[in-house]
Structure 1
Amino acid sequence: MTDDPRTQPLREWNRLARENTENAIVSSMFEGVLEASEPIESFATWLLAGTAAVASFFISNADKLLPVITKAGFITCGIFLCLSCIFGLLSKVFALRCHVGSRTSAAVKKTFLDHLAKYKEEETEIQRGAEFWGISLQSGIGMERVLQEFLAPFPSWVKWLTMRNLKKNAGNPQIAYLSQVKSFHAQGVSAFLQALCFIGFLGSGFVFAAVI
């Protein structure tokens, strides 16, 4: 009975329903993970502000600190502070990319689903009319035309990157989250290196002060 051709549409419907639900669950998991971007950004912002304040104090009191930690120690601590600031700025940039991607995806998803639901209703009526007249009409959304119209006002390099990304991840239902997850990962790594460099600054200061 399972091989009955009459059950093929039902089995295909079941397969698509399962895949759509699984993809929706994975998307929800990605969205949950991306929520962690905000507290990481807050931590990076707090540490960046603290590092900038310490660097300002360090520079303004260089004449008093040089006899304590020596010139080599001052330069080493300064390098760690600069690296911490650089990684902090990178973390902020990746956080911005992550937030922009998330908000853009959410806005597009909402409007896309609204338009798709409206089209589905019209498509049903059109197909009924086509069936009544005994004609065949091509239905479905032409995504190639949609992308062509969307990318028309953008520079050529944006079109090239977009099409390259689409071809590279063709068939992946989570394509909208891939770049966001990469930015989130880079944000976390940058924040970790930012904190590590600040700890390196503190450790270097104590080491060079102790050898005097």
Structure 2
Amino acid sequence: MIDNADESLKKWQDSVQAWAAITKENAEIDVLVGMLTSIASASPIIDKFSTWLLAGSAGIGSLFILNLDRLVPIINSDRIQWALFFLIPSAIFGVFSKLNSLSIQTGVHSTQRMKEILLPIIEKHMGNEDEIGKAAKESNSLIDMTIDFKKIMNEFIDCYPFPVRYFIKKYQKDEDFNQVSAPKKWVRSLIWQSFNTSIQFICVLVFAIVLISGINII
């Protein structure tokens, strides 16, 4: 009798320790996801600056091409060629920056929207689970109401066409997909966005310097 009591106590202690470990791990993941998401939220600010540079360089480039015959007497022709040469990589890196921003903002928005939709559903399920669990305990029944997220994800992925489905599954295998995978990807994209925008700005700055230095002083 004492051995059974000790065994039950040991199982109860193990269950509490496992519960505490899971709770701690979930809290650490939530903190990390929050930190990564807050860093990724800087993407729209960088994107706005990149948009200004992209629009400005496109406008200036078009203006120069349309008025090239009028600018040649004022600005050295070689300098005009070099200046326009730096506008090309500026536009290219600007497009790369926009793609990075699109990836981040789409991921953050869809994730937040998914939480808004799924959280009430999960809370309702947990409430039903508690009620059914009490009824099952009174009738000495064993009922498993654990949500099979793996099954849900497989059905969710099957909605996509084959090429997209293939890359999603490959990404899951390569990245050891978990709650932190997407936020980490956002931060990496933010770093690339910052890099591309920096190169974009440097190209525009060099363009302006080359152009000003080529002005013919009468």
Relative to the length of structure 2, the TM-score reads 0.83
Say whether 1:135 aligns with 2:119. no
Residues in 2 aligned to 1:131 and 1:170: alpha-carbon distance in whole angstroms? 37
Structure 1 residue 76, shift from structure 2 partner: 1.9
Deviation, 1:5, is: 4.8
Percent of residue pairs identical:
26
The aligned length equals 210
Q: Which of 32, 36, 47 is equivalent to 2:38?
A: 32
Contact 2:29–2:179 (8 Å) recurs in 1: yes
Q: Could you say which residue in structure 1 is the equivalent of 2:14?
A: 8
In 1, are the aligned partners of 2:133 and 2:143 still within 8 Å (CA)? Answer: yes
Contact 1:91 1:187 in 2 (8 A): yes
Which residue does 1:85 correspond to in 2? 91
What amino acid is aligned across from residue 148 of structure 1 in structure 2?
N
The superposition leaves residues 45-98 of structure 1 with CA deviations (integer Å, 9 ceiling, x where unpaired) of 111222122212221221233355544433221121121122122212221221
Cα shift at 1:171: 5.8
Aligned mate of 1:201, from 197, 202, 207: 207
Query: Matches of 1:162 and 1:135 in 2, distance apart?
Result: 39
Match of 2:3 in 1: none
Equivalent position to 2:63, from 57, 73, 78: 57
* 1:165 to 2:171 alignment: yes
- Residue in 2 that maps onto 1:124: 130
CA distance in 2, matches of 1:111, 1:101: 15
Contact 1:105/1:176 (<8 A) preserved: no
Change (3 A) 1:190 1:115: same
Mean alpha-carbon deviation: is it higher for 51-60 or for 134-143? 134-143
Moved more, 197-206 or 153-162: 197-206
1:165-184 CA deviation, whole Å, 9 max, x = no partner? Answer: 22223364312313322322
Question: Which of 132, 141, 159 matches 1:153?
Answer: 159
Quote how far apart the aligned CAs of 1:196 are. Answer: 1.0
Structure 2 equivalent of residue 186 of structure 1: 192
Secondary structure of the residue that 2:72 maps to in structure 1? helix
Structure 2 residue corresponding to 1:106, chosen from 101, 107, 112:
112
CA contact (8 A) 2:57 2:91 kept: yes
Contact 1:151 1:159 in 2 (8 A): yes
- In structure 2, C-alpha distance between the alignment counterparts of 1:162 and 1:178, rounded to whole Å: 16
2:126 and 2:107 mapped to 1: Cα distance? Answer: 27
Structure 1 or 2, whichever has the larger Rg, is 2
Q: Distance in 1 between matches of 2:12 and 2:55?
A: 67
